[in-house]
Chains A and B, each alone.
Chain A
Amino acid sequence: MELTGAQLIVQKLMEHHVNTVFGYPGGTALELFDAIYSHPDQVRHVLTADECGGAHAADGYSRSTGDIGVVIATSGPGATNLITGLATAYMDSVPLLAITVNVSKNLIGHDAFQEIYITGATMPVTKHNYFVDRIEKLPGVLDDAFKVAQGGRPGPVLIDITKDVSTGRIDYSPGEYEPHHAGRQIRTKVTRSELLTIADCINNAKRPVIFLGGGFAASGRKDLFELLEKADCPAAHTIMAAGTIGFDNERNLGIVGMHGSIAANSAMDEADVVLALGTRFSDRVALNPKKFAENAVKIQVDIDESEFNKNVHVDHMIVEDAADFVKKLLPFIEERKHDDWKKRATALKTHGITSSLDTPLPHPDEVIRDTCAMADKETIYVTDVGQHQMWSAQFLGDHNTYKFITSGGLGTMGFGYGAAIGAQIGNPDKRVIHITGDGSFHMCLNEACTAVSQNLPIITVIMNNGVLGMVYQWQTIFCDRRYSGTDPHRKTDFVKLGEGFGVKTYRAKTRQEYDDALKEAMKNSGPSWIEVLIDRNEKVLPFIPGGGTTDDMIIG
């Protein structure tokens, strides 16, 4: 069949079972949006407030469904608005496909209206990108892009096509095209001798800990509990793996790192074997990489070999999908009992440190705990970045497992609302709760128009302390209370603002008011905002300053 380049893109999206795209139209993307318009039942387009929100929405869609997220933008500013979203997905290894339409080939390099070299601009924040200025390349590039984004360690991929490619014509038959180069395949299969070596380490360990990262959370958790039982050891995790194992599971010691639990950080210090599954030991986890788990034989399992010895030196490196590795390792693990070690490791276990601040306002841990207690177990929690994010990671714990979507690597304030929209569109039958702070929410609240126009029942909890809390906390501790740039004296009335967007809004000054508002919000068919006032002196604790160790932990 003869198709235009734009029609071919839509055809390929359908072939790859993409039924939802996020994005924003524009001059050069005219034909592409026209082609989407012809398939309203197969490809749903969700218009976001801007392309950045669209990229975050595609990201939230992908993280919550496991399918690839797709975002479409026009040239120039449309394309540059994607960059933060792509970088966020890149840092957290989320499969994303961004399609942009540049100016026509004859205008490329002439500083034409809304021309931008977006492949150059996004090289450092994509797994790969493609510039397509000949229509014959397009089918192969599209198939490759899906493969690259989802294969191995997933990541975002951008395809920039010229406008004349979108209008050009090609004779296309599904399955018949010239394959584009898909790159070298890296070996990702563990060998039997490696399995025997690792099993030997774990079978002979006296104080083993299993340490879970985002790579494990993304690859699936099904054999984890059997491994924990058999090896009889405690587990700890990064923020990216929050929700993989519920806090009420007796083996879960909590988060490792800067705002990690005393139990998890101490266990890392005392362990004699650490099996790290899908984590890169980032500087927020291994604050002092030379002293991280320094008494342990460290085994790192990662699908990306460049993560080995990048941050922390390890003793054994296994290139394998983390969940596949657990499945393959299980038959080699012998039943063990480590009662003394388990008792010692879990003795220090608490949620994050609950607030003892004397204030009539609700404490952050109360807000998060009440949310968790009242919400359905299948709830998807999406956060922005800052104190509220850490409180959420610390206190959303009682469910056995839950979906926790957060910008861990890039730490993107303003990620939350877009991501929540993507998560809700990908999971129409599940409750999505977006937990944010007043700082972050000011960066993404424009997406309220999307939540309203799509009638999405997202509940946004705005923890409003009137300051940029995380940096404010650092300034309290490190800068002698010199609050430079963090006390903006904003007068935003979230109740009136939300009403202006068409959102149902609530304001809570006490714990009871918050619980009542949440109960009401859960009845709404469309979006709700609950502004809950908290004291600006509330802190995220424990806190290990950058470069520090458990000995430097601040707990009050």
Chain B
Amino acid sequence: MRQFKPGDSREVVSILVNNEMDVLARLVTLFTRRGYNIESLKVMSVGNPDMSCVKIEMYGAEDDIGQMIRQTRKLVDVLDVTLIEPRCAFEESVSVAQ
């Protein structure tokens, strides 16, 4: 598993997904098998019962983050992936899993 290295940046990706029952397992499996640590993770409703938003905080070099975003985009139940400002990402108090 990839550990934090000097020069890594902390990034948060916001992932819009179809609200399928195993979509969280797919995301976590993908991060695990590609060798990336999930620092924190949060799932939120988006007002549309068919979709959810997952925010994942991770550390990595720029290339690694780009690679992880491209891998995440390939999941069939992923509708959109964006990098967001880390400071804004986890203002809400509860983190679902860590």
Residues of chain A touching chain B, judged by Cβ–Cβ distance below 8 Å, are 119-120, 123-124, 127-128, 131, 148, 181-184, 186, 304-306, 308-310
Shortest distance between the CB of B29 and any CB in chain A (Å): 5
The answer to whether B71 has its CB under 8 Å from any CB of chain A is: yes
Interchain CB contact under 8 A, B67 and A310: yes
**CA gap between A310 and B74 in the complex, in Å:** 14
Complex partner residue of A123 from B29, B78, B80, CB under 8 angstroms: B29
Q: Report how many A-B pairs have Cβ atoms within 8 Å.
A: 47
User: Can you list 13 pairs linking A and B with CB atoms under 8 Å apart?
Assistant: A120-B22, A123-B22, A123-B26, A128-B75, A128-B76, A148-B76, A181-B77, A183-B76, A183-B77, A184-B78, A184-B80, A306-B71, A310-B67
Of all chain B residues, the one with the shortest Cβ separation from A306 is: B70
Closest residue to B51 on the A side, CB-wise? A181
* Contact of B73 with A182 in the complex, beta carbons under 8 Å: no
**Chain A residues whose C-beta falls within 8 Å of the C-beta of B29 in the assembled complex:** 123-124
* Most B-side CB within 10 Å, residue of A120, A131, A306: A306
Query: What DSSP secondary structure best describes chain B's contact surface?
Result: mixed
A239 to B75, CA, bound (A): 28
Chain B: CB-nearest residue to A313: B63
Q: Cβ of B20: which chain A residues have Cβ within 8 Å of it?
A: 181
- Most interface-central of A119, A128, A181, A304 (chain B CB within 10 A): A181
Bound CA–CA A127/B78 (angstroms): 13
User: Across the interface, which residues of B come within 8 angstroms of A308, CB to CB?
Assistant: 70
In the complex, chain B residues whose CB is within 8 Å of the CB of A309:
63, 66-67
Q: Which of B22, B26, B76 contacts A181 (CB 8 A)?
A: B76
CA distance A26 to B22 in the complex (A): 26
Q: How far is the CA of A309 from the CA of B25 in the complex (A)?
A: 26
- C-alpha spacing A332/B73, complex, angstroms: 32
Is B33 an interface position by the 8 A CB rule? yes
From B70, which residue of chain A is reached at the shortest CB distance? A306
Instruction: Determine whether the beta carbon of A183 is less than 8 Å from that of B78.
Output: yes
A188 to chain B, nearest CB (A): 12
- If A120-B22, A123-B25, A131-B22 touch, whether A184 touches B79 (CB-CB below 8 Å) is yes
- Give CA–CA (A545, B81) in the complex, Å: 39
